[in-house]
Amino acid sequence: MNLIVAVDNKWGIGKDGGLLLSLPTDMAFFKERTMGKVVVMGRKTLESLPGGRGLPGRTNYVLTHNKNYEAECCVVVNSDEELWAELKEYDSEDIFIIGGAELYNRYYKLCDRLFVTKIDADLDADTFIRNFDRDSDFEIESESEVISENGYSFRFVTYKRKNI
């Protein structure tokens, strides 16, 4: 299983329920990685997406405790157990955890690869994930050149679980 996220230099990922910023090259990277795959997100992340609906071209799973929740283009699941039962039918390499913090911070333990866009800025986030540079279970597998866009510098870093 994979995790895909964009972080600032404090591992911040969001503010006021939304993203910190939107970088076209990062959006394209996200789209390329996840297109045709299975994406898993929390209810708050779903509601932050355009139109509050699932992402086109992907199989979308959304987690909520609300048993009456309905979301366009999504399979709604109400617990981890229900989610794992659903995901069993897919190749784990095709599954991407796409946020938010609650899901990242819980499910990273089940992920073998983390696709992290590291933005070199302090973007005043109010929502953070674990600092994977300090997690000895992961190592950097690859790192892109620094990309500059809209006045920001960032790079794509892939972390790999050490024991795979």
Ligand X SMILES: NC(=O)c1ccc[n+]([C@@H]2O[C@H](COP(=O)([O-])OP(=O)(O)OC[C@H]3O[C@@H](n4cnc5c(N)ncnc54)[C@H](OP(=O)(O)O)[C@@H]3O)[C@@H](O)[C@H]2O)c1
Shortest distance, CB of residue 163 to ligand X, whole angstroms? 25
Name the residue nearer to ligand X (CB basis): 58 or 136.
58
The residue among 54 and 99 lying less far from ligand X, judged by its C-beta, is 99
From 1, 10, 17, select the one nearest 102 (Cα to Cα).
Answer: 17
Nearest approach, Cβ of 4 to ligand X (angstroms)? 7
> Quick one: which of 29, 30, 27, 22 has its CA closest to 151?
22
CB of 60 to ligand X, least distance (A): 13
Decide: 8 and 101 in contact? Cβ < 8 Å: no
Return d(Cα 43, Cα 32) in angstroms, integer: 23
Q: Which of 3, 71, 100, 156 binds ligand X (CB under 6 A)?
A: 100
42, 104 Cβ separation under 8 angstroms: no
2 binds ligand X (CB under 6 A): no
Element (H, E) at 149: strand 147-149
Of 121-160, binders to ligand X (CB under 6 A) are 127
CA angle 104–109–113, rounded 5-degree value: 80
The least distance separating ligand X from the CB of residue 143, rounded to whole angstroms, comes to: 18
- Binders of ligand X in range 28-67 (CB under 6 A): 41-45, 48, 63-66
- Residues of this chain that interact with ligand X (CB under 6 A) are 5-6, 13-14, 17-19, 41-45, 48, 63-66, 78-80, 98-103, 127
